[in-house]
Structure formats: structure tokens, C-alpha cells
């Protein structure tokens, strides 16, 4: 699904991945990212958000916090990150990004509160008063007053499994007062996740009840004399979603897959953002009508019902062909993917294999690599990094 869009809208990324792999400059099991396209995507997103008065924090987990990609985002005008966890915060700050938002989706462990406050995040999300107390005490120890966002929920809100938590929305005025009473803390606003989701049946974005919860909570806070609020509304955030979020009163947006052109909406509509990511593998061996290719990064973010995955296979752009593929089920270790060779010939050990799917590098054991110079026709590998944004030990 995403491969079809990539082949049509940014085929040079596929060609470059194959060429650089065949030249021994890219390893198998690598998420390959077009840095020029990432910068262009960041520029267009920043312009659209700026026109609506929205603050942007870039999510980087999906490309493994790759520092070259972080710098490409900064070149496009996105200078602050949203860190899904402390590893995100450390990697993006090291790459030069400001930590704009921390603690959402993952709360800060108690023993890391001091380190978190030492990063001076613009905003910290808390789910409980206990977490607010921990952070406030840590902020006070370094002489800071930390702006905090309260994560809210109401009975009809929806969450991805394992993402639940927060303060009950009807208690938001009391919660704001309790946070303001803490030495080292200041109540700054509210957040949820997800504010928008993709509806596969309608092939369109859908407002969740969570967004309605934010609107109602904001009205209650303003009625209690709190007119200046930050309203953070992440979830399936492409430039196409910005008018919907702004109309609902959202002030902070957090694009992730928009920056690589891989939100669900990008698979069914040609949005302004270009597809800028693929997964590179290599044929390991042939067996009984199948070609096995190296895995390690075959986690496909399940935003669509199961669909036929395909891959581009070959040693150069002219000879490459598209084959049906089968990836290991989520419960299995992805040592290999498999390519269907029924009625096909000419596939050999060592061929490059390029997939296009919605990536989540940070939960894999893959490499990540940014490719610079694609727009000028002079592609080169900017660097090879681990899935956590650290220098890769490749080649040994």
C-alpha cells in the first residue's frame, strides 16, 4: 500500500537505496530516509501550522531518532521535538533539537525526574498528581517552574490498548489548582491521545470523542478564570488535519509520520508531504519457491486491516521487479521475510529488497540511514545509526 505511493511519488528513493546497497554503502535491515524530502515536508508543515497559529513539536520515534533526520527537520523549521520517552529526549536534544514536550505518551520514571527537568522541556505531561509532585520537586531543585499539561479522559473517550490513563476531565479545574499549588510547577493546559484517528472504512480522518473532551475541559477552565491555555492534540497529524484541530481550539500539534509522508491518509490521498521512508533488506537464500530476505525491522504499524505486502527486488532500477511478500506475524521474531517466486525467475542471493510500509523504527533492531542529495541527483549516505539514534557499529 505505502510501496505503491512511494514508487509513484518518490521512486528515486527506491533507486538510491538499491544502488547504495549494491555498492556496499548501506546494510540490509535499514530504514532509509530521504533527507531532502523530510526537509521539504517540514517546511510545508511548519508553514501550514504557522498560518493557523499552531505550535509544532516533531515526533521522531518512527525513524529511530536518527540525528541526520532531526537536523533535516530543523532545516525545515521544526526546532523542537516531542519525546515519547527519555531515550527520545536524550537523542533529539543531542541532535540539537529543543525538547518541546515530554511525558506523553510515556510518563517519566521517578528516578529520571531530575534528568528530565534538567532538559528544560517546554511542557511536561502528567497523568497523576503523584507524577506532578515528582516533577515539580525535581524542577524546584534546579530552580525551574515547569509548565505542565494534564492528560484528560472522559467515559466515552477511546484509547489504543495500553495507552489509557490521565485525570478525569470533570475534575480539570481542581487538577489545575492542585498543580499550580506545587512549588516548581505551573498548570499550562491539557492534552489527550488520540485526538484524530484514521477510519479505514471511510478512508478519511475522524474526530475522536477525546477531542470533544478537550473542548469541554477548555471551556470549563476558561469559565473558572483560566483564559490562556495550551491545548495539545496529537494523533494522525498531517497538514490536512491542521484546520480540523485548529477549529477545535488545539494550539499544539505533533506530526510524526506526516514528516515522512506515511500517515494512513497518505496511503489513500496525495497530500502535500512526500513519502520519504522505505525499508531495505537483501535476499539471504532461496527455498522451495521462496526468497528469504533479512529481517530485523519488519514491524508494520497496523493502521490498516491486513493487506498484501510487496517489495521491489533487484540489483538496479532497470531490472528490479515487484514481488508479493509475507512478513512474520507480530508474535514471531522477524529473522526473515519471504518473497513469492511463483512464476518468477532471476532472483538471486544478494539482491536488494525494498519495502514500503508504515515504520516504527524505535521498537525494532534495524539500522536507520538518511540519504542526502536525492533532489540534486547525487545521493549519498549521511550516516548509519541504531534504532535508538546512536552511532551504529557498521561496518565493524
Same domain for 296 and 220, yes or no, is no
Task: Give the pLDDT score at 306.
Answer: 85
- 67 is a domain residue: no
- Residue 68: CA count within 13 A, CB half-sphere: 23
Same domain for 154 and 110, yes or no, is yes
Same domain for 106 and 210, yes or no, is yes
Q: Is the pLDDT of residue 396 over 80?
A: no
Task: Give the pLDDT score at 393.
Answer: 87
245-268 per-position pLDDT tens digit: 999 999 999 999 999 999 999 999
Whole domain around residue 105: which residue ranges? 79-254
334-362 per-position pLDDT tens digit: 999 999 999 888 899 999 999 999 999 99
CATH at 239: 3.20.20.10
In this prediction, residues 109-136 reach a mean pLDDT of: 98
Same domain for 231 and 104, yes or no, is yes
The domain boundary residue, chosen from 206, 228, 254: 254
- 50 is a domain residue: no
The domain boundary residue, chosen from 223, 254, 285: 254
191-231 per-position pLDDT tens digit: 999 999 999 999 999 999 999 999 999 999 999 999 999 99
- 267 is a domain residue: no
- 58 is a domain residue: no
C-alpha 319/C-alpha 127 separation (Å) is 54
285-340 per-position pLDDT tens digit: 999 999 999 999 999 988 888 889 999 999 998 989 999 999 999 889 999 999 99
Same domain for 160 and 306, yes or no, is no
Task: Give the pLDDT score at 101.
Answer: 98
Q: What is the mean pLDDT of the chain?
A: 96
Same domain for 142 and 243, yes or no, is yes
Same domain for 244 and 281, yes or no, is no
10-69 per-position pLDDT tens digit: 999 999 999 999 999 999 999 999 999 999 999 999 999 999 999 999 999 999 999 999
Same domain for 214 and 124, yes or no, is yes
- 158 is a domain residue: yes
All three cell numbers of 21, joined, read: 546497497
Same domain for 187 and 316, yes or no, is no
- 123 is a domain residue: yes
Q: Is the pLDDT of residue 1 over 90?
A: no
Q: Is the pTM above the cut of 0.85?
A: yes
Same domain for 298 and 376, yes or no, is yes
CATH at 9: 2.40.37.30
Are 97 and 80 in contact, with CB atoms under 8 Å apart?
yes
- 394 is a domain residue: no
Same domain for 17 and 157, yes or no, is no
All three cell numbers of 268, joined, read: 489513500
Same domain for 246 and 284, yes or no, is no
The domain boundary residue, chosen from 254, 284, 316: 254
How many structural domains is the chain composed of? 2
- 346 is a domain residue: yes
Amino acid at each position: 500500500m505505502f510501496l505503491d505511493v512511494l514508487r509513484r511519488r518518490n521512486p528515486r528513493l527506491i533507486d538510491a537505496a538499491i544502488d547504495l546497497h549494491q555498492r556496499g554503502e548501506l546494510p540490509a535491515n535499514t530504514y532509509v530516509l530521504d533527507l531532502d524530502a523530510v526537509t521539504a515536508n517540514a517546511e510545508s508543515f511548519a508553514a501550514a501550522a504557522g498560518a493557523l497559529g499552531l505550535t509544532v513539536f516533531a515526533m521522531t520515534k518512527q525513524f529511530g531518532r536518527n540525528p541526520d533526520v532531526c537536523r533535516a527537520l530543523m532545516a525545515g523549521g521544526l526546532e523542537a521535538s516531542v519525546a515519547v520517552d527519555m531515550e527520545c529526549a536524550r537523542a533529539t536534544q543531542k541532535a540539537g533539537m529543543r525538547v518541546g514536550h515530554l511525558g506523553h505518551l510515556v510518563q517519566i520514571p521517578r528516578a529520571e525526574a531530575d534528568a528530565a527537568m534538567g532538559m528544560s522541556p517546554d511542557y511536561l505531561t502528567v497523568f497523576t498528581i503523584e507524577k506532578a509532585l515528582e516533577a515539580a520537586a525535581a524542577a524546584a531543585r534546579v530552580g525551574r517552574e515547569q509548565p505542565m499539561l494534564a492528560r484528560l479522559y472522559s467515559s466515552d473517550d477511546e484509547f489504543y490498548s495500553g495507552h489509557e490513563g490521565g485525570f478525569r476531565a470533570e475534575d480539570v479545574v481542581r487538577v489545575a489548582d492542585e498543580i499550580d499549588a506545587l512549588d516548581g510547577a505551573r498548570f499550562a493546559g491539557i492534552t489527550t491521545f488520540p485526538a484524530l484517528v484514521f477510519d479505514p472504512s471511510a478512508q478519511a480522518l475522524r474526530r475522536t470523542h477525546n477531542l470533544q473532551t478537550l473542548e469541554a475541559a477548555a471551556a470549563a477552565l476558561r469559565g473558572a478564570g483560566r483564559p490562556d491555555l495550551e491545548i495539545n492534540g496529537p494523533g494522525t497529524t498531517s497538514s490536512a488535519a491542521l484546520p480540523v484541530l485548529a477549529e477545535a481550539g488545539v494550539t499544539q500539534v505533533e506530526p510524526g509520520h506526516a514528516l515522512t509522508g506515511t500517515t494512513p491518509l497518505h496511503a489513500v490521498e496525495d497530500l502535500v508531504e512526500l513519502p520519504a521512508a522505505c525499508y531495505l533488506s537483501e535476499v539471504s537464500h532461496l527455498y522451495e519457491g521462496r526468497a528469504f530476505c533479512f529481517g530485523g525491522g519488519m514491524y508494520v504499524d497496523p493502521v490498516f486491516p491486513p493487506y498484501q505486502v510487496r517489495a521491489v527486488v533487484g540489483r538496479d532500477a532497470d531490472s528490479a521487479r515487484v514481488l508479493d511478500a509475507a512478513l512474520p506475524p507480530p508474535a514471531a521474531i522477524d529473522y526473515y521475510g519471504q518473497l513469492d517466486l511463483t512464476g518468477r525467475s532471476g532472483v538471486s542471493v544478494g539482491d536488494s529488497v525494498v519495502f514500503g510500509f508504515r515504520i516504527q523504527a524505535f521498537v525494532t533492531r534495524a539500522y536507520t540511514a538518511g540519504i542526502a542529495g536525492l533532489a540534486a541527483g547525487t545521493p549519498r549516505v549521511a550516516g548509519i545509526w541504531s534504532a535508538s539514534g546512536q552511532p551504529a557499529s557498521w561496518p565493524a
